[in-house]
Amino acid sequence: MRARAFLASVLAVALVLSGCAGPDHTIAPAGAPQPVESTTAPTPSPHPTVAKPPKPPLRPLPAKLPAGLRRNSGVRPVVLTFDDGPNPTWTPKVLDQLRAAKVTATFCVVGREVQRHPELVRRIVHEGHQLCNHSWRHDLDLARRPVNEIKADLKRTNRAIQAAAPGAKVSFYRQPGGRWTPEVLAVAKGLGMRPLHWSVDPQDWDKPNAATIGKRIHTAARPGAIVLLHDGGGDRAATLAACPHLIADLKKRFGITKLR
């Protein structure tokens, strides 16, 4: 019996060493296929996708500008407005020219630029100019969006202005691109801001030369005009070059005033 047990033990060891034992140390039958380790990565189980709710469609723009926009100063002198700043390159130079000419203007500021350059907002206020909310990021379609989005945008911009210049008055709102809807007018008025448009647009945003900017303003200006210019949103070298002449021309013909 001991001899048989010994022979069985020797045989088992031999089978294991020859690779006939399974991975669980059991004896594999002769000729059984051996397991092969897979080199293919397992296919991950798909994660369920969450469908995003569709964005509400944009309202169409009205066929004509809605009633209630401020498009005239209400007096003989004209008003200068500068949009899309504050910009660290152009706004200080515009302010220097206004100070030299002893005139004031209205700066329609973009919220995220206010957040980036609060010191320029403080200078605008300190030097006696007016502030106008011009939306958070100059969204041309803002007036076509849901009313709650419009309100959140305008309030966010006002908060940035107040953080930069605590106590500064923001009496006006100007819609980017002049793309007004009755809804954005109502929101602006509800927040205590008057909707501010313009009557003279020399299209300095399209980068004509300084002489063209000055000529367009000279030709279009009338008593009480509100003139649209830009101190941000791109290269404003031509606007800056045009300012001394156009300011002198408007000051002589009509005078330049603040909005009231």
Model confidence over 136-167: pLDDT tens digits? 999 999 999 999 999 999 999 999 999 999 99
Is the model more confident about 34 or about 186?
186
Q: Looking at residue 175, what is its pLDDT? A: 98
CA distance readout (Å), 93 to 24, 111, 140, 179, 186: 84, 20, 27, 29, 35
- Alpha-carbon distance 130 to 101, whole Å? 16
pLDDT value at 119 more than 60: yes
Residues 77, 178, 97, 90: what is their CA dihedral angle, to the nearest 10 degrees?
180
Confidence (pTM): 0.80
pLDDT value at 200 more than 70: yes
pLDDT value at 42 more than 70: no
pLDDT value at 5 more than 80: no
The catalytically annotated residue of 83, 139, 153, 231 is 83
Q: What percentage of the chain exceeds 90 in pLDDT?
A: 77
Q: Looking at residue 41, what is its pLDDT? A: 55
Q: Looking at residue 113, what is its pLDDT? A: 98
The catalytically annotated residue of 126, 230, 231, 245 is 230
Q: Looking at residue 51, what is its pLDDT? A: 67
Known catalytic residue: 83?
yes
pLDDT value at 6 more than 70: no
Mean pLDDT of 62-80: 97
